[in-house]
């Protein structure tokens, strides 16, 4: 089933002179893990805001073309309705938690939906356990580390049980160790619960191994869209300025020297494997 | 260490912390009324002493001490002003009775501060918001209240960061005359306000993404229920009020000096 379907989508902010992105055609299938990447200012965040209706309902502006999310026409359904299908995790962990305890924060979305209290309690525990934050349940959010806060933010979205989770650079405020923990959680959601994941990310070194597909945006357009290995090994991707994983870079350098490995690796363990395969051939 | 620490909620578990804010509010109101009803030293002293066991039960002695120390300056001022004004205008009173009246006013002030301090030290903003909500105040207002309280420490930290950054660039805050000093704060206020606006936009975005406004009958994870202890506190407050009214009408209250001599 197709969960997100955009056709010739073009959007201009109320204050903007030219479109933040234009002519975007995109299809995302149920259960897919998609990474969106591209240089700063290319319109990734703006595109994500369309996925749950923040654009056009919260931001206004001019949205042309068609976009359907889980069968709902985004232009016609309010954000709170789409938010039940599409969970959104933002960049800054600090500004996503506003209650005085973790538990209350995770409950917020469910409270808004009028879910019965007993059910809310169950879902809080469930979401906190999956994200590994159960022990933080009664702590005030502002006392947590950035990584913990971001996992709680994921839990608060998860508790609403969405079909799709959109994460906009969830690790850009975190150190590599914190980032890796976030990626583990996301990967688990995708693998164990077959949740559709859309992840905006620059740290391809750490995360591209989990992806089914990578989309590269440049200057408001989608310029690459396909299998991670193909996209990352392509010269076009490198020229745009996307941070290619070192393992893939190695593959390209070797290829340049006439050494053709089996396939482009995405991370160092895989690179070892591929090189071993090559040597024992 | 600041005076405000004497009023800032601390999350510990104690029987006082678990009391319903509404019950505590009634208690504070009664205490206020009673404190204003009397201007003799003995009943006010009793009011002061009644609250000490509560302070210890709530395990907030240290913070309470802080609020007491913080209010000491004001207490001394009140004492001095009362003493002087009574001395010059009251004429035919003896000095001891003037002294006693001034002391009584000071203790009244301390009792008021003390009850405020106990209330805010032991009531989490979360339950306070909940109490407001269950008293029929619109949810949006209660939410604004708890969120504002939640972001006070964050904004305070941010202000400190901005001050440090501007100082590092050579801004001198504590120099010049009064107007100059106010002007010095502009480079701190502008980034602080801009950041606060950006933060509130991000918060709004998050709220929208968590189905804010999806249904009219939103649930609340917590409900406040009046428990036995709350009833006891309310009962005690009412008793205190009745006794005080009775005493103030029917009983002659001796002065402390007449008892001691
Ligand atoms: N609220 C807004 N109002 C007006 N213009 C905006 C707004 N937000 C973003 N833009 C503009 O839209 C364009 C795309 O910005 P967007 O934030 O989507 O980029 P991005 O790919 O997410 O970048 P980054 O990697 O830095 O997060 C930029 O030119 C930006 O200036
Ligand atoms: Mg962005």
Q: Tell me the DSSP string of A231-257.
A: HHHSHHHHHHT----HHHHHHHHHHHT
Residue A55 has which token pair? 């654009």
A232 Cα distance to chain centroid? 18
Instruction: Please state, in angstroms and rounded to a whole number, the distance separating the CA atoms of residues B177 and A203.
Output: 52
Residue with tokens 């309280």: B149
* B225 in A contact zone (CB under 8 Å): no
Q: What is the DSSP string of A29-69?
A: ETT-EEEEE-STTSSHHHHHHHHTTIIIIIT-SEEEEEEEE
Say what the pLDDT of residue B182 is: 85
Confirm whether the ipTM is greater than 0.85: yes
Is residue A20 in contact with ligand 1, taking CB distance under 6 Å?
yes
Q: How many Cα atoms are found within 13 Å in the side-chain-facing hemisphere of A69?
A: 29
User: What's the mean pLDDT in A244-253?
Assistant: 94
Contact at CB, A112 and B204, closer than 8 angstroms: no
Q: State the ligand closest to the CA atom of A19.
A: 1
Indicate if the pLDDT at residue B193 is higher than 90. yes
> How far, in Å, is the centroid of ligand 1 from the Cα of A43?
6
User: What's the mean pLDDT in B172-201?
Assistant: 87
Instruction: Please state, in angstroms and rounded to a whole number, the distance separating the CA atoms of residues A54 and A60.
Output: 9
CA distance, residue A90 to nearest chain B CA (Å): 8
Q: Which of A270-274, B101-105, B172-176, B183-187 has the lowest mean pLDDT?
A: B172-176
pLDDT-based confidence at residue B90 (cuts at 50, 70, 90): low
> Strands A221-226 and A213-218: what pairing?
antiparallel
User: What's the mean pLDDT in B231-253?
Assistant: 92
Say what the pLDDT of residue A142 is: 86
According to the per-residue pLDDT averaged within each range, which of A13-27, B167-181, B213-227 is highest? A13-27
Asked if A90 and A96 touch (Cβ cutoff 8 Å), the reply is yes
Cα–Cα distance list, A281 to A262, A272, B153 (Å): 10, 14, 63
Return the closest-CA partner of residue A80 out of A120, A104, A111, A101.
A111
> How far, in Å, is the centroid of ligand 1 from the Cα of B201?
15
> How far, in Å, is the centroid of ligand 2 from the Cα of B146?
29
Q: State the ligand closest to the CA atom of A42.
A: 1
Residue B218 has which token pair? 């939103």
* A143 in B contact zone (CB under 8 Å): no
Instruction: Please state, in angstroms and rounded to a whole number, the distance separating the CA atoms of residues B70 and A34.
Output: 57
Q: State the ligand closest to the CA atom of A41.
A: 1
Confidence (pTM) = 0.85
Reduced to 3 states, what is the DSSP secondary structure of residue A213? strand
Residues on chain A touching B11 (C-beta within 8 angstroms) = 140
Please, which residues bridge with residue A21 across strands? A11
**Sheet strand arrangement including A2-12:** A21-29, A2-12, A62-69, A72-73
> How far, in Å, is the centroid of ligand 2 from the Cα of A72?
25
Is residue A60 in contact with ligand 1, taking CB distance under 6 Å?
no
Say what the pLDDT of residue B152 is: 84
* A160 in B contact zone (CB under 8 Å): yes
CA distance, residue A107 to nearest chain B CA (Å): 7
CA distance, residue B213 to nearest chain A CA (Å): 6
Q: What percent of chain A has pLDDT over 70?
A: 100
Contact at CB, B221 and A101, closer than 8 angstroms: no
Is residue B94 exposed (0-12), middle (13-18) or buried (19+ Cβ within 10 Å)? exposed
List, in sequence order, the alpha helices (H) in A36-169: 44-51, 79-83, 102-113, 117-130, 146-158
For chain B, give the longest Cα–Cα distance: 73
Instruction: Please state, in angstroms and rounded to a whole number, the distance separating the CA atoms of residues B30 and A201.
Output: 58
Residues on chain A touching B21 (C-beta within 8 angstroms) = none
Better-scored residue on pLDDT, A207 or B93: A207
Average model confidence (pLDDT) across chain B: 88
Is residue A44 in contact with ligand 1, taking CB distance under 6 Å?
yes
User: What's the mean pLDDT in A71-100?
Assistant: 93
Instruction: Please state, in angstroms and rounded to a whole number, the distance separating the CA atoms of residues A165 and B181.
Output: 50
Say what the pLDDT of residue B124 is: 85
* B215 in A contact zone (CB under 8 Å): yes
Contact at CB, B215 and A113, closer than 8 angstroms: yes
Instruction: Please state, in angstroms and rounded to a whole number, the distance separating the CA atoms of residues A125 and A118.
Output: 11
Indicate if the pLDDT at residue A57 is higher than 80. yes
Return the closest-CA partner of residue A167 out of A85, A90, A69, A86.
A90
Say what the pLDDT of residue B4 is: 67
Residue B7 has which token pair? 């009023």
Asked if B240 and B30 touch (Cβ cutoff 8 Å), the reply is yes
């Amino acid at each position: 089933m197709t969960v997100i379907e955009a056709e010739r989508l073009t959007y201009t902010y109320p204050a903007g002179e030219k479109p933040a992105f234009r002519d975007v055609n995109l299809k995302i299938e149920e259960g897919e893990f998609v990474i969106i990447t591209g240089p700063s200012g290319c319109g990734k965040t703006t595109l994500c805001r369309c996925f749950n209706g923040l654009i056009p309902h919260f931001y206004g502006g001019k949205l042309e073309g068609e976009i359907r999310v889980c069968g709902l026409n985004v232009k016609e359904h309010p954000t709170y309705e789409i938010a039940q299908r599409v969970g959104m995790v933002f960049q800054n962990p600090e500004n996503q938690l506003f209650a005085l305890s973790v538990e209350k924060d995770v409950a917020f979305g469910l409270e808004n939906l009028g879910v019965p209290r007993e059910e809310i309690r169950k879902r809080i525990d469930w979401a906190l356990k999956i994200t590994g934050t159960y022990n933080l349940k009664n702590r005030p959010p502002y006392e947590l580390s950035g990584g913990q806060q971001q996992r709680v933010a994921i839990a608060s979205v998860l508790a609403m049980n969405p079909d799709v989770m959109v994460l906009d650079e969830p690790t850009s405020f975190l150190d590599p160790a914190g980032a890796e923990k976030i990626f583990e959680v996301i990967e688990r959601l995708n693998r164990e619960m077959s949740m559709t994941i859309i992840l905006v990310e620059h740290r391809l070194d750490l995360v591209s191994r989990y992806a089914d597909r990578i989309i590269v945006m440049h200057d408001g357009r989608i310029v690459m869209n396909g299998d991670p290995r193909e996209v990352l090994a392509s010269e076009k991707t490198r020229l745009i300025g996307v941070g290619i994983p070192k393992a893939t870079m190695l593959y390209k350098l070797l290829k340049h020297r006439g050494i053709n490995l089996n396939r482009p690796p995405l991370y160092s363990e895989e690179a070892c494997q591929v090189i071993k395969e090559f040597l024992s051939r | 260490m600041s005076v405000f620490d004497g009023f800032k909620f601390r999350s510990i578990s104690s029987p006082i912390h678990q009391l319903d804010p509404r019950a505590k509010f009634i208690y504070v109101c009664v205490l206020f009324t009673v404190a204003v009803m009397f201007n003799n030293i003995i009943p006010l002293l009793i009011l002061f002493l009644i609250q000490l066991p509560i302070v210890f039960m709530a395990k907030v002695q240290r913070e309470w001490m802080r609020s007491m120390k913080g209010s000491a300056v004001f207490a001394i001022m009140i004492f001095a002003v009362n003493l002087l004004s009574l001395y010059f205008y009251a004429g035919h009173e003896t000095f001891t009775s003037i002294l006693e009246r001034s002391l009584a006013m000071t203790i009244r002030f301390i009792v008021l501060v003390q009850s405020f301090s106990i209330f805010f030290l032991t009531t989490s903003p979360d339950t306070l918001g909940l109490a407001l909500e269950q008293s029929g105040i619109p949810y949006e207002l209660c939410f604004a209240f708890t969120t504002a309280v939640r972001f006070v420490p964050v904004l305070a930290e941010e202000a400190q960061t901005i001050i440090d950054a501007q100082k590092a660039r050579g801004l001198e805050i504590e120099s010049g005359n009064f107007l100059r000093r106010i002007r010095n704060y502009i480079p701190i206020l502008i980034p602080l306000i801009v950041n606060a606006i950006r933060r509130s936009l991000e918060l709004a975005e998050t709220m929208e993404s968590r189905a804010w406004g999806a249904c009219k009958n939103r649930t609340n994870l917590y409900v406040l229920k009046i428990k036995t202890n709350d009833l006891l506190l309310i009962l005690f407050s009412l008793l205190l009020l009745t006794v005080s009214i009775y005493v103030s009408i029917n009983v002659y209250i001796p002065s402390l000096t007449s008892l001691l001599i």
